[in-house]
């Protein structure tokens, strides 16, 4: 082990006393636990660039006071002591045991309908590990990567996005980043470069995006959402030149923006010399109807900024998203921001490249579409069977979550509390509206990606009893 005491030769206090006090203090607050071996006299004197006599004198004082002991032919060790007598200080970093105790205080749910969960049991762990190991044999893997992301991965992404979503771009327009929020943060710097902007966002809408725009000092215009997506008439009345939308699966309502509304939105962006930020966060999973091309693929004016992520289709922990910039914004990025280092592990990027290049990605995506479609059907059938006309299902045609509208007079807070009593965790939606009184009947968010079929059915049974049984 190494030590980093702040030894000051200009103090009146001798160096050996300063070292002694430092080690003694670490023992007393538990940072040096019983049985910890201390550095040898020679190693510590070399590390701290002080004399061996200074180290030896400090150690001898610690031995004399019973803090450490010398074990023949083994070295110096912190003595065993009763840890309940530790002197706790505010700088104590704590232990993993402390963390686990804190976690245990959280409520223990049996069924968690969280939106962000995915079916991790279906992830090809062995295959991913094998590809990851292959990547580690590349001599270049341990160096800094491309600021925009690894070129070969961006090339695969460009091909995939064109084939699956109709996105038309070159690999040079793609920027890899650590998820949608990180990329939005970078985008705020690009579009707000040298002057602050006004941005319109959906209401209700993704609160994570709202937070990013707010933190970057943007003036936010909240535009209501109807069945066709964001209200174009209200958007025209605003002075915004940028708009953030989720057209393929409006968050949280689940509406799909029709093709006519998409074309009108693109025309608006061109007329005001503005840009559309298209968040295509879970477009891979659509269960009914024909897929509609991404806004970016319909855009002939170069006015759409396209964002996507692998968090839903692979694993959230990989933290890998992508952004396609129109050429005018790409020029600003490359001129002003290309010194920003890449935020995604080069190892993950290279592994994902092999995963896509060798055909595993398309196979995995087909498998996950089938799995999530079955879970979606099981969830909707269970709800209709158990709850009937007491609820309405909203946004059940795509994505990994639905909204459950409770038709009786009640509050979101009460419904969540009743669910908690039967150990079922469901999620609020009021936070997605700017004004909470704008929300209709209570809407509860139900995610299903990370739950098994049996858990979905049992969870809905519990909810039914909690909400509708007197």
Question: How many Å separate Cα 346 from the centre of its chain?
Answer: 18
Give the C-alpha separation, 313 to 311, whole Å: 6
What is the rounded (10 degree) CA torsion for 293, 371, 118, 311? -30
Instruction: Record the pTM.
Output: 0.79
Burial label for 240, CB within 10 Å (0-12, 13-18, 19+), is: buried
Phi, psi torsion values for 405, nearest 5 degrees: -90, 120
Exposure letters 105-143 (e unless 16+ CB within 10 A, then b): eeeebebbbbbebbbeeeeeeeebeebbeebeeeeeeee
Q: What is the pLDDT of residue 438?
A: 66
- The beta strand positions in 299-343, using DSSP E, are 304-309, 321-324
Q: Which residues contact 415 (CB under 8 A, 6 or more apart)?
A: 406, 426, 442, 444, 467
Pairing of strands 321-324, 174-177: antiparallel
DSSP sequence for 231-290:
-HHHHHHS--SEEEE-TTS-TTT-----HHHHHHHHHHHHHTT-EEEEE-TTTT-B-SSP
Residue 396 in contact with residue 376, Cβ under 8 Å? yes
Exposure letters 379-390 (e unless 16+ CB within 10 A, then b): bbebbeebbeee
Give the C-alpha separation, 228 to 245, whole Å: 12
- Residue ranges covered by each domain of the chain: 15-100, 111-120+363-468, 124-360
The CATH number that domain 124-360 falls under is: 3.40.640.10
Q: What is the pLDDT of residue 441?
A: 78
Q: What is the pLDDT of residue 97?
A: 64
Give the C-alpha separation, 28 to 125, whole Å: 44
- The beta strand positions in 325-468, using DSSP E, are 391-394, 401-406, 424-425, 443-447
The CATH architecture to which 111-120+363-468 belongs is Alpha-Beta Complex (3.90)
Q: Which residues contact 300 (CB under 8 A, 6 or more apart)?
A: 266
Give the C-alpha separation, 245 to 248, whole Å: 9
Q: What is the pLDDT of residue 169?
A: 95
**Cβ–Cβ contacts within 10 Å for residue 400, how many?**
25
Give the C-alpha separation, 451 to 470, whole Å: 28
Q: Terminus-to-terminus CA distance in the chain, angstroms?
A: 63
Q: Which two tokens stand for residue 87?
A: 């002197």
Quickly tell me which residue has 């700088």 as its tokens.
91
Q: Which of 14, 4, 58, 333 is nearest to 192 (CA)?
A: 333
- Rounded mean pLDDT for each run of 10 residues along the chain, 470 residues in total: 82 92 89 91 92 94 93 90 56 58 69 90 94 91 91 96 92 95 95 80 94 93 94 94 94 90 96 95 80 89 96 88 96 92 94 95 93 95 94 88 89 94 94 78 91 96 92
User: What is the chain's Cα-based Rg?
Assistant: 29
The CATH number that domain 15-100 falls under is: 1.10.10.10
């Amino acid at each position: 082990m190494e030590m980093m005491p702040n030894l000051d030769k200009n103090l009146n206090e001798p160096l050996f006393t300063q070292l002694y006090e430092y080690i003694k203090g670490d023992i007393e607050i538990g940072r040096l636990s019983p049985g910890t071996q201390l550095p040898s006299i020679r190693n510590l004197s070399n590390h701290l660039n002080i004399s061996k006599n200074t180290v030896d004198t400090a150690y001898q004082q610690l031995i004399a006071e019973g803090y450490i002991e010398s074990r023949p032919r083994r070295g110096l060790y912190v003595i065993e002591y009763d840890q309940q007598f530790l002197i706790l200080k505010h700088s104590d970093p704590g232990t993993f045991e402390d963390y686990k105790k804190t976690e245990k205080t959280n409520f223990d749910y049996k069924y968690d309908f969280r939106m962000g969960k995915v079916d991790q049991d279906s992830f090809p762990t062995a295959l991913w590990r094998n590809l990851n190991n292959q990547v580690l044999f590349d001599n270049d893997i341990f160096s800094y990567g491309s600021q925009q992301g690894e070129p070969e991965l961006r090339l695969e992404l460009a091909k995939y996005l064109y084939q699956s979503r109709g996105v038309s771009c070159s690999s040079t327009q793609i920027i890899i980043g650590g998820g949608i929020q990180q990329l939005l943060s970078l985008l705020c710097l690009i579009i707000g470069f040298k002057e602050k902007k006004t941005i319109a966002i959906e209401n209700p809408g993704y609160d994570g995006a709202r937070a990013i725009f707010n933190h970057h000092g943007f003036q936010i215009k909240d535009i209501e959402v109807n069945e066709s997506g964001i209200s174009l008439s209200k958007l025209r009345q605003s002075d915004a030149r940028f708009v953030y939308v989720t057209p393929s699966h409006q968050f949280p309502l689940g509406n799909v923006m029709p093709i006519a509304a998409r074309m009108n939105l693109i025309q608006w962006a061109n007329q005001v010399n503005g840009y559309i930020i298209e968040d295509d966060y879970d477009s891979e999973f659509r269960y009914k109807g024909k897929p509609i091309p991404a806004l970016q693929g319909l855009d002939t004016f170069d006015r759409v900024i396209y964002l996507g992520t692998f968090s839903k289709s692979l694993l959230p922990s990989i933290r890998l998203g992508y952004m396609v910039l129109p050429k005018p914004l790409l020029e600003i990025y490359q001129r002003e921001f290309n010194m920003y280092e890449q935020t995604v592990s080069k190892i993950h990027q290279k592994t994902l490249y092999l995963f896509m290049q060798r055909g595993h990605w398309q196979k995995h995506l087909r498998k996950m579409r089938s799995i999530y479609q079955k879970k979606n059907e099981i969830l909707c059938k269970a709800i209709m069977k158990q709850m009937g006309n007491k609820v309405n299902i909203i946004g059940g045609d795509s994505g990994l979550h639905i909204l459950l509208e409770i038709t009786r007079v009640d509050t979101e807070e009460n419904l969540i509390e009743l669910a908690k009593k039967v150990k079922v965790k469901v999620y609020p939606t009021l936070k997605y509206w700017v004004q909470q009184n704008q929300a209709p009947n209570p809407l509860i968010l139900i995610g299903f990606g990370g739950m098994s079929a049996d858990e979905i059915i049992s969870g809905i049974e519990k909810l039914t009893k909690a909400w509708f049984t007197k």
